[in-house]
Structures are given as C-alpha cells and as structure tokens.
Structure 1
Amino acid sequence: MELERSRLILDGIQELIAYQDLENRVLWANKVSGDSVGLAPEKLVGRFCYEIWHRRDRPCEGCPVVKARETGQPQEAEITTPDGRVWYIRGYPVRDERGRVLGVIEITHEITERKQLELEMQKARELAEGIVDTVREPLLVLDADLKVVSANRTFYQTFKVTAEETEGRRIYELGNRQWDIPRLRELLEEIIPPNTFFENFEVEHDFPNIGRRIMLLNARRIHTKTNKTLLILLALEDITERRRSERALSESEEKYRSLVESSDDSIYLLDRELRFLFANRAALNRLGLTSEQVLGKSFAEIYSAEAAERLAEAVKRVLETGKPVQQEHWSERLHGAFLRTLSPVRDPNSGEVTAITVVSKEITSLKMMEASLREAGERLKAIIDFSPDAIIITDLQYKIIDCNLFALKLLDIESKEELIGRDMLGLISPQTRNEIVRSIQEAMETGVVRDVRHELMNGYRIPAEISVSAVPDATGKPSSLVFVIKDITEQEREKERRREFIYRVNNISPGDCCLHNSHQALYNIFAQLTLQGVPGICFTREKPEDLAKFGITRDKVVVISSVPLAGYETLDGLQQVSLRIAEFLKENRKSVVLLDGLEYLVSRWGFDTVYRFLQEKRFSFLESEAVLLVPVNLSAFSDRERALISTELKVIG
C-alpha cells in the first residue's frame, strides 16, 4: 500500500522522474515523463534516455546521470534540447547494501522561462546603462533623504570625482559643499514633494577640480507603480537565484519515497476535504512542524481559513477538469511567494480522483527579479522622457525602434508610430550624412562619440549636436544604437545676433573689403567673428604664438614669409596668397579673411601689382558675401597710393 501510494504521488509530480540502469536504459518513469513525449510511461521502459528526449544515439555531453553513475555522487546540469528548451537535470545514484551503484534516478524540470527572464533583465540593464551614459548632461539620482543613489559617467567626468566620493552622501556634502544653497534646499525639501519637479535653477560656483562654472539644475520626483519608493532625478546641464541543493538518496528499498523526500520543493498529498495525507521533509521543515503534527489535520488548521479558501478554488478546478492546475500565492505563514502545482491522484481501479498532489515551489527571488525588472523599466522610461534632449534608438541597420517624447516634439511628429521603422540617416542632412556614418562606426568600436555638429531634415533644417553610443548584448557585441540629439537652434540664432552686432558696431557689411590703421582692432574683430562661428583664415607676418592672446587658433593661421615655419602653412608669393584666398572663399561663403602684411607684399611685388590684386579680390569677396580685413599704416604710402587704396578698401578706422 505504501509503495502504491508513493507511485501515485510520483505520477502526480510535474517534474520528469525516471529510474535508469547502468547503460541509461529506462527501468521506470512517472506519468509526466511519458506525457512529455506523448507515450505511456511503460512504453519508455527499455529505451535509452538520450534517444527518448534528445533524439541522439549516444549520451549528451556533460550528462549529470552519466556523471552520477561514474562518480557515485549526486550530479546536476543544465541541458538544452533540440527544440530550444532549457532543462535542469539532477542525477542521484542508487546503491545496493554493499554500496555498489545499481542505477541512477533522473529528476528533470524546465527552466526556459527563468533563463529568458534573466536574459531580458540583462538586456534592460544594458540598455538603461547605455542610454544614461550617453546622456550628455550630468545626472544624479537622490533618495528621499537627498542622498546620492547613483550618478552617470558624465557627472563623474564633469566634476572630476569618483563614485566613492559621491554615492551615499547627501547632496549638500559633495565637494566643498557647493550645493549647500538655501534656495536649492528649499526646492528639494519643500517644493519637490508636493509639486513633483522644478526646472531651470541656476547655480554659479567655484567647483573643486574644474573651477568656476554655472550649472542649470532640473529635478523631477520619480515614483514606482507601487508608489513606495521616492527618488529624485537631478539633471545638471551637464536575484538571487534560489539555492539549489538536493539530498542524496539514502540506500533504501523505498527509493520512490526517497525521491520525494530529496526535493527542496514542498510536496504534500491532500484528500478531497483538504486533509493532509502526506508531507515531505521540505514541507515539514518550512512549517517547522513534525509529521505527527501535520498528518490528518486540515489545510485551514495548519495555515489559515483564508489560505484554505484560495487553495480550494484551485482544487475545484482540478476536480472539474481532471488536469493539473498551477496557482501563484503569497504565504503569510511562510513569508514568501510560491508557485504550487496541483495534480489529480486517481484510483487505479475506478479512475476516480481520490486525492491531490501539491508541489509548492518557492519563487520569492523570481518575483523580486520581476519587480526589479519592472522598476528598472519605469526608471528608464522616466529618465528618457525627462531628458531635455531628443533620444532615438535604432537597430544596427539604422531603422528607428523607439524614441522619447522630445524627439517627437523636435521633429514635429505627432506619434511614435510615424517615426518607428524610418531610416535614421534619412533625418540627417545630406551634407553631413557621411560624417554621421563615420561617427556610428567609431561608436561601435569605442562605445560613445559625443557632440558632432549636424543638421536634421524633416521638411526644414534643425541645427543639432548628436552623440552616438552602441549598446552591447550579453556577448559584448553591439546590438542597437542610441542617438542623443541636442537642438542648438537657439545657440545658432544667438551667434547670428552676435555676428550682426559685431558687423554693425564696426561699420562692416557682408562683401566689404575693409582697412584699419590698428592691427590690434582688426585682429580682435577677426577673433570675435570666428568665435561666433564665422569661418575664417588669417594671413599674417606676426609670430603665430603672439596671436594666441587674441584667441586665434593655429589652424586658422597662414604665415606670409620667404622662410618656411615648422608646423604652419607658409606662403611667400602673391600668386600663392591669391590662390589660397580663392580656394578658401569657394569652400566658405559668408566668411572672414584677415590679410596682414600688405606693406611686405608691396615691397616684394610693387604697389601696382598688389593694387591689381586688391581690385580682383574685391569682386570675389562681394560675390561670396565674405569680409576682407586689411590692417595697414597708410602713412607708409604716397598720396597717390593712399588714394588708390581707399578706392578699393573701405576705411573703418
């Protein structure tokens, strides 16, 4: 009777259980083993296990059953079957009285879902880290006590600090207490809780390591769906897998009962009135009770009336359908989440369901992992949508797969559906499309490429700075691309206003060729215009290092000299200067050219030759709407020469 009941219990367990001889032939298998291949359990007897489940002609590599037989010790392994499913397999050797291995018991259950969940969590984390580290502004995540939970890479790079100096400290304690500002305290401690955000708070301070800076602060309160966790996202513009252990099977003739007792899962048998007929060691250990204290008692007596009602609902479905039923539940008594599988136990003669086998698996860690995944997704969405920059995610063929709300606003598109599936390169101006492709290739090799100047095209031009990062998969290979796009329209307009102001106050118009008696004045005008984005080239007789005081960089300098100067472009002939100016104007409309050394050119080539050169160039500058600046001391010329120069050059000082 005891053996028969053990067989019924094993047939009700939803794990695959098979007893094999020393050649991997099946000697006995439970009902679930047969159901897994559509055969009755007795049809499996005498066949090799690797032939039945793996469609092979020899044992699987790393098979724990073979290892258990060879070592005489319990073994375990994860095996993937040809259909792509993943199985956790355990092998337990069975010995005779003299300790010789007679055979091996194999217990198998599917872990495909857990493996997929682990992979999804890995991908979500990698994507989150890729996006956060690509965002160009420094970001801080603060807890309810205003302590730093985390910061992105840009924050550490910007403020030249480490995670050890930052995380776990209150924001007011960072650096030299530069954030200990009364108004900021008021915003974070009083305004944020009821209002959820503040925007555009300006801080000017001498920061350690980086000097005096002005930072624009934006903050937003982030809640998870459960509304239990308060986090503050501050932008500065800048599972444990449950333990796996199985008891070795004791040397006993009651090997079927030993199988049940070796499981870490709670396994118990209930009659139709929910009274305990059997409970394995794991179930008793979890309850902290003995077999005598449990057997014969009702489920409500051991747990609670409410818990018994939930179980009765699942039992009812088993009795009505005659099929196994799974039910997730939280146990107040055991303080954990469980997935229990209820299976019918039938009378072998009448076929009537006489009892219910319950296998209860603890899934607390799994539920915590799922909650962490959801929370990570919520935080990621909040970070993306809160970003003041447009964020677009594409596959490696540049097809758009997601974007944030600001991307839709920037491109004047109403819904994501209009944008998803489009080619990202189609949004880039043709003039810089090749350059963005080079940036993408560099990002796939190095990780991130930041702040490359481009123009977006969606019916009109949008000046933008674009950063690109490659998000790696579990193997480290790029799996997707993240584009962070900053709209610089206002910066470009401000530069244009400043350029117009510089022209106006100096009495200069596009196309003018201007003369000034002061070398310093024209060098200052040239430096101011190039600082505001005007393309420029400076022909000079001065020492190039002396021009640094005006802010003129060496890439804009051409030295006029008969002696070559190392590290600088050097020209001597008037025709060389003329050709270099023509080449520059062809590539740069609305530019500025400073030509210093007119006196030297006259001394080398004569006044009349230089005068004809100025006459020819005046029309080139007028056509390209560029400006020529010529510093010269007119007192070095005769009255006739001064008069002729004045007819070609506009005297502005």
Structure 2
Amino acid sequence: MTAIFLLDLVSPLGWEVWLLYLLPLFLTFWFSHRQYLIPLATICTALIMVGFIHSSPGIPVEVAAFNRSMGVVILWITTVLLRQHGRATEVLRRQELERQTFLDSIPAMIWCRDKDNRILRANKSAAKSIGRSVEEVEGKRTEELFPAEAAQSHADVLEVINTGKPKFGMIEPYLVASGEKRWVQADKIPYRDQSGATIGVIVCAVDITDCVRAEEALHKAQEELELRVQERTSELRRTIELLKREDAERRRAENAFRTSLAYFQTFMDNSPLVAFVKDEEGRYVYANRLWEQIFHKTNGEMIGKADTELWPSDTAEQLRKNDRAVFAAGRTVELEEILPTPDGIPHTWVVFKFVLRGPSERRLLGGVALDITERKRAEEALRESEERYRQLIEVCQDAIYALDDEGIFTLTNPAGCTLLGYTEQELVGMSVANTYLPEERSVVLERLQQLKIGSPLRFERVAVRKDGTIVPIEVCLSPMTHGRYQAAVRDVTERKRAEEALRESEAFKNRVLENSPDCIKVLDMEGRLLFMNKGGQQRMEICDITSLLNSQWIDFWKGEDKQRASAAVEVARAGGIGRFIGFCPTAAGKPRWWDVLITPLYDASGTPDKLLSISRDITEHKRAEEALRRSEEQLRLALEERERLSQDLHDNIIQMIYAIGMELEECQHLMTEDETVAIKELRHAVAQLNLVIRDVRNYIVVKESDHTSAVQLRTELTKLARAMNGAHSPRFRISLDPLAASQLTPVETKHVLSIAREAMSNSLRHSGARSGVVSLQMEHGALRLMVEDSGVGFDPQALEARGQGLRNIAARAQKLGARCQVTSEHGRGTRILIDIPKEQVHASAGD
C-alpha cells in the first residue's frame, strides 16, 4: 500500500489510482484479517485524498476531486461486500460446528459410512458405545471396529446404496467397550450428495432397552436436523447466489468505470440509495439523481448551498451537528435523520456518513441514505398491533394459546394457565400433545398438517390438566403469520353437564310416559280429553284414541263415580289436588277399578291452563284384598280348632297318666295284703297305660303330620301369593327350605305363617311394591324367615308407636324366642327378618 501511495506521488495516475488500492483490501480478505478491512479502507481513503493534492496539473481540480470521490465510494462499496462475504463464511463455519455439536448432543448412536464401509462421520454417543473417541472412529473401516458384524453390516449398507431405499427397525448385536453384548435397533438411510446420488449410508442406532424414548428422540432429532440442513442449505445457496450477483455487478461496474466516467454517473443516478457529498462548511458539492427526484431540486439549485438554506432551522441544526460528529470521529458513522420532503411530510432516513479527503487536504463528508419511513411505520404499527392483541387476550375469559409449527406453546393468557393448571413459565415451551389423552396424541400432527394448508379447525376434545384431571373443551384453531397458530379454547364442562342433564331429563320423561302402566291423561280446563299415553290406551283397551279426543272425561264415569270425578276436576281447577276411587270398565267391557289423581298444569306465567289426570288400575288389588280377608278368616278358624283339639288331648293324657300313677301306688300297697287283687289292679293299670300309649301314639302321628306342614305352609303361602298377584299388587316369590320348615312345631308354624301373612298384607296395603320375596332358610345356626318387598318404604321409628301390624309381628316373635328386625328406607323397600335360634328350635321340638 505504501508503494502504491509513492507511485501515486511520483507519477499521479488520475482516476485509476483507486483500482490499485483494491489490491491490499483483497489481500487482507484472503489472509482472513477481515477485522482490518474498515481501518484499511479508511487509510486507503486518506491516501487517495492525499494523492489528490499531487494530481496532474493538466487535470481540472473538479474532475480530479470527482474521480477521487468516486474511487472512495467504490472502495467502500468493495469493503462492505468483502465484509459481508466474510460474515457469510463465518456463518457457514459456525453452522458446521453447530451440526457436529447437534450430532454429539443426540443420545442415539449415529454413523455415516461410504460404499467401502468406511466410517465418514460419527457422534460422541456412537464412539462412546465402543469405548473410543470420535477422532479414533472416523476414517476407520467397520471391520476394524466390529469384526463379527462387519460382513452383514456391509451387506445391508450395499443394499441401501444400490436400492436407494432406507431400512428401518433392524435389530443388530454389537459389543460395548466392556465386552458386553447388547442389541440395538438400527435405521439405515441413504447418504446422498448434492446431485442426489447415493454415496453412503447414515446409521442411527438406539439401545432397545429405551426403545420408545429413543425412537421419539431420534425422530424429533432427524426432523430438526433435516429442517436445519434444508434451511442452512437454502441460506447458503441464497448467499452464494447473492455473492455471485454482487460479484457480477461489481465487475460490470468496474468495467463501466474503466470505460467511461459516464458509466459511474449512470450507476449513481440509478442507485436505490440517495448519495451526496458536503464540504466542511456544510455546503453540498454533489448529489445523485435520486436525491434530486426526492427533494425536487437539481444539482445546479443545491450545489454550494448549506443545510440552513435547504431545510428548516431545527432540521438544519441537527444535520450540522451530526456532520461535525462525523468529522470529529474520522470514521464511518451510521445515523438516523429526519428530513421533510417538499410536500412537508417528514421522512426517516438511515444515513452512512464518512470523511473524504479532497484537494489541498480539504476534508469532505460523503453520505449514502435509505428512506426507512415505511419500515418505521410498519414497525410502529406492528408494536401497536401486538400491544392491542396482548391486552385483548389478557382480559379474554376464554383460554388463548399461540403455537409454533411443531405444536409447542409460545404464548398464553391467564385464562389459559387457569384452564390447564400450569403457570405461564411451565406452559410456554411445552408440547400441546401433553394436554391430550395418550390414545389421542396421534391426531396432533394431523391437525397441524391441516392448519398448514390454511384451513381453520373447530372441534371438541378433553384436555389433561397438570394434576391429571380431564376437562372437556371446545377448540378453535386458526393459522397466523410466520408459521404460528392461534388456539381459542373454552371450557364446556357446564354446557356438557347441562346437555347431558337435559337429554337424561327428556329421555326419562319419555320413558315414564311410554312405559308407565298408569293411564295418564291431559285435560283442558273444561275437562275435555286432549291426550292419553300408550300405557293408558292399552289399559283401557282403546284401539283408536282419536275418536275420544275433545270429549268430556267425566262422561266416562257413571253414577256416584261421575259425581266424584266432577268434584275432583273442580278441585284441580281451583289449584288443588283432586282424588277419588271409582269403577270404569274398559272399551271392551272388562270391569276395572281406578285410583284417580287430578292436578293442575301451570303455564310460564304460573296460571293453570291444563289438568293432569293419572289413573291407576287397582282391580287386582281389590281382588287380592278380598281374597286375603277370606284366607285370614279361614286360617283363624282352623287354628282355633287345632288349638282346641290340642288342648283337649293334652289335658286327657295328663289326667290318664295321673290316674295310672295312683293305681300303681295302690298296687304297691296291695302286694303285701292281697297279691291277687294287686295283680288285677296292675293288669288294669297296664291296660290303661296301653290306652295312653295309643293316645300318645295318635298324638305323635298328629305331631309327625305337623312336621309335614312345611308343604302345607308352602301351600298356604303360595295360595296367598296367587291371590295377591295383580296388575298393581306385589308379586311374591316363595322360597322355603323343606329341612328348615320340618324343624318347626305346629305352634311355631302357626306363628311363622301369621307373621308372613301379616307382612305380606302390609306390603299389599301400603308399599305399592311390584315384587317381593318370602323365604325360610337355615343360616348361621338359626332359622331365618325373611319377608322383603321393593316398595316405597317407611320410617320404622315413626310407625313403631302406632303400627298394630308391627306390634303383632313383634309379639309373635317374642313367643318364638326369636329376634325381630325391621329395616326400611323411603324409596328402597322394606325387609323383615325373624331369626329363631337353632337350640330354641330343638327345644321347641322336644317340648
């Protein structure tokens, strides 16, 4: 550079001198001293300006100054291009380092092999798996590292290379550094050059013991690696293409400047940047055509004028202050300046100002400027938009999330944190797949793919919260800019509950109406029939209800029942509840007894507008009550007769035995006085004893026949159950263990039968049950009698003081020496248990 300067001093070269100064710039760049480019360009600029002093006397000062100025501009343009090229090279170097770092950070074992089965590249995990470093592995053949598996591995490599198709999920053995044999799952992928030809194989191996996690990590790593390689490759191609275009442009510019100064003027006039030159007093000495077009002033109008003559005073003062700072710094300074255009609108410019050396060491200030007004406005609009968006989502009651193209949360509002139970720090960076049920996570990628083609999605799913609970949500997904997505999420728990409750309520009401055996009718306020359910039509044996609609309902009744029906309707009209029991045959003429209830139906304003009539068929109930009364009367008479007969037999036997005892005592005295009389008396006593034995035998026969009363007990209970069975009467199932029943005495049988009859009668009259069970079984050393129904139940404590039936049952149980337990709840039926201890049963049988 000193030689060039001396050459310029000894023999001034004119405008071509700046070409020689490009040589040290290129040498500095070639030897990778890019940090010296700016200082070197500054020194060259100073030398060019010094050389301007010794310019040829035959060249006009203005031309020499212009030539030197243009040389300085080209010098700095070249400097900027070289710095950009250097930065691009550094980026490529860092990218390569990042790739190796990325490979080393992958826990999977990664090998890159060529066609000769030589390892081109490996990560730390791969080298560590065989106890070596990456440097020791790379360049080695597989036979040197895996002698046993090399042949098969080479065959697989050649197959992948020849076919160009990858092989996945291959299970292969290998020996770790300790000599232990382990198994890995390997994927072999073709390694292609830029032309697409397969030059090797990339092998990714994962220890089978961590198969699931390793596969997921490998899959994610491969995707990220491919994406980054594609991005870096694309950036590299764009950089190379840009460098090629810039280099071609530079060459064209150099050729143009060598050919004629007019080419340089054309270049400046067509430059997208505003260029100008000032002297130290702030007067303009040059401006390009773009400057003239923007500020509507020609070179003739502005050359020689200062900023104070062209701009408002405050603007001119700020420009002058910036110019002084550049002269003081002596280096290139980047500034933002605001200048008004001729229409009065202020524009923001980014300006690069630098010092030039003119003739006689006169310093000039050069500058290039770019209008960034629209960019500033866009940035400000973007900031305002983002602030408004942030404020909006902060106060939004729904959960708002922002996701990247891989489904990772990047933004959330307070409602979103509350919905999932995470803090904002925990949620940002987490995958949305973590909020899905494990069996539903496969749809996450599918939905993201649908979003990538620009279609918004709306769907419902359940979200998994931090504590493991799930919550139903409604999701609206829509694409945003820069590959991001927005999710608006609403908790629909209450809505789901309301919908489910409504569905259950409607279904329940429909089932009640359709399946109810009662005759349900809707009447108008005048008592005309408007509706009857299907169960009621079947009960009334009505084939076509349309002929009866709008007819007077009270006309269905006759005599006193019609008067009762009319009175019940009047009570319901007045807002009360009318009820009566009446007789009304079916359409086919079958007799039916009905228990009728009439209530008002209210409209939205609370005014009765219709009447609801519910009629229950109690015909079988009536018949069962009558049959039960007859059965109880017959049983009472039979038990009284048996009790009387038993008492007679008992008294006669005792008297006869007492008389025989007296005779035997007499015989004892006669044996010493008159043996003949004593023998006669003894024979008479024996005869009487035989009669007693006969009577006792007859009594025993009766008792033994009573042992067979289990059949009679079953028969009586079965008859009673059949008599009670009706449409609205409980249907009792009889379950008697013959062995248990045979251990009961006649008295106990009588009491058991009475308790069962009393309980069944109470169930018939009060429970409204549909079914019941009467059982007698041996359980845990005792006889257990159980009577159970599925009726409405009652409170035993409330009825204990006034329930005669319960008191009768308790009294009979006490006579048996048994434990009586009555269990009942409202809506859950009633159960009566009588436990007769086994020893008590045996004692009774012995008596």
TM range (shorter): 0.3 to 0.5
The one of the two structures with greater contact order (alpha-carbon pairs below 8 A, sep at least 6) is 1
Greater fraction of residues in strand:
1
Considering only CA atoms, is the larger Rg found in Structure 1 or Structure 2? Answer: 2
TM-score, L = length of structure 2: 0.33
Greater fraction of residues in helix:
2
